[in-house]
Amino acid sequence: MKQIQDCHLYTFIDGAYLNGRQPEDVARALVDGGSDIIQLRMKNASAEEMIHVAERVHPVTQAAGVPLVINDHIDAALAVGAEYIHLGQEDFFDGGYHTVQDVFQGKTVSNGFPYVGLSSHAPAQALRAVDAGAVYLGVGPVFATRTKPQAVPVTLEYVRWASENIRIPWFAIGSVNLSNLEQVMEAGARRVCAVSDILNAPDIARRCREYRKILSHFE
C-alpha cells in the first residue's frame, strides 16, 4: 500500500460528480490514471449509504495499492477498513477532539486505526492540526470553489507559507486544475487534490495522466 509521503495526486470519488457512473468504475479510472490516494466523499449520505459505496470501491483501491480515504464518516471508515479518514477543522476540533487518538475512543477497531488527515485554512489551524497528530493536511481552498462556495480562498500565499513551515505531507486543494497547476506547484506545493476538473473530464484516466505529467516535473 502506498505511503502518504509518496502520494502526490489526491483524487476524489464525489457523489456530486458521479454523472450517472458507478463509484467503482470511477475508482478504476482514477487508479488507471495514476491517482496515488483517493477520497470517497458523499455529502449528506448516511453512514449506511457510505459503507455500501465504500464496500464497492475499497476492493478496487486495495488491489491497486492505493489508499482509500473516507470523508467525515468515522464508523464507515472502520467498517470497511479504510486506510485513512479525513475530517474538517469543525468536525475535529469543534467536535471535541484534541488528538487523533480521540477520534477512535469507544469505537471497535479490528485492523488498526485508519490514519487521520485534517483540513486547514490558515497557519494557526495547520499548526494545531499537526500538534493534534494529523498525518497529512489539506491546504485550501487555494481558489474559489463550487464544492464549498462559502469558503474564502486562502490564495497562493498560504501555499507559500505551508511550503516553508509544514513538515508533514500536505495537499493544496480548492479549484486546482490543469490551467493553474503549475502556478500552484511553483508556489511550493508538491502534492495536490483535484476534484471537479478530473471528475468532469470525458476521460478520467487520461486527465489524471495529464496531472501526473506536470507533477513529475516538480517531484
Give 109's pLDDT tier (boundaries 50, 70, 90).
Answer: confident
Binning the chain into helix, strand and coil, the percentages to the nearest 5 are 45, 15, 40
Look at the alpha carbons of 219, 187, 72, 206 in this order and tell me if their dihedral is positive or negative: negative
Phi/psi of residue 94, nearest 5 degrees: -70, -20
Choice between 112 and 15, residue whose per-residue pLDDT is larger:
15
Q: Report the pLDDT value the prediction gives residue 106, as an integer from 0 to 100.
A: 84
Q: Distance between CA atoms of 101 and 24, rounded to whole angstroms?
A: 30
Position 147 pLDDT exceeds 70: no
Beta pairing partners, 10: 37, 193
Distance, CA of 172 to CA of 184 (rounded, Å): 8
Query: Is residue 219 very low, low, confident or very high in pLDDT (cuts 50, 70, 90)?
Result: confident
Whether the predicted pLDDT of 112 surpasses 90 = no
What is the distance between the alpha carbons of residues 22 and 52, in angstroms, rounded to a whole number? Answer: 12
Phi-psi region for residue 151, left (φ > 0), alpha (ψ -120 to 50) or beta? beta
Find out whether 10 and 37 touch, Cβ atoms under 8 Å.
yes
Per-residue pLDDT band for 110 (boundaries 50, 70, 90) equals low
- For 156-195, the pLDDT digits (tens) are 999 999 999 999 999 999 999 999 999 999 999 999 999 9
Between 145 and 87, residue with greater pLDDT: 87
Which residues share a beta bridge with 117?
Answer: 86, 136
What percent of the chain shows pLDDT beyond 90?
88
How far are the Cα atoms of 101, 102, 159, 189 from residue 12, in angstroms, in the given order? 25, 26, 21, 19
**Distance (Å, whole) CA 114 – CA 82:** 6
For residues 185 and 217, what is the distance between their CA atoms, to the nearest angstrom?
A: 10
| Confidence band for 152, pLDDT divided at 50, 70 and 90 | confident
Record the pTM: 0.96
User: Which positions ≥6 away from 129 have C-beta within 8 Å?
Assistant: 89, 92, 118, 119, 120, 137
Structural domains of the chain, with CATH: 4-118+174-216 (3.20.20.70)
Q: How far apart are CA 34 and CA 206, in angstroms?
A: 9
| pLDDT(149) > 70 | no
Please write the tens of the pLDDT for every residue from 20-72.
Answer: 999 999 999 999 999 999 999 999 899 999 999 999 999 999 999 999 999 99
Instruction: Give the rounded distance of the alpha carbon of 211 from its chain centre.
Output: 16
Q: What is the pLDDT of residues 185-196, one digit of tens each?
A: 999 999 999 999
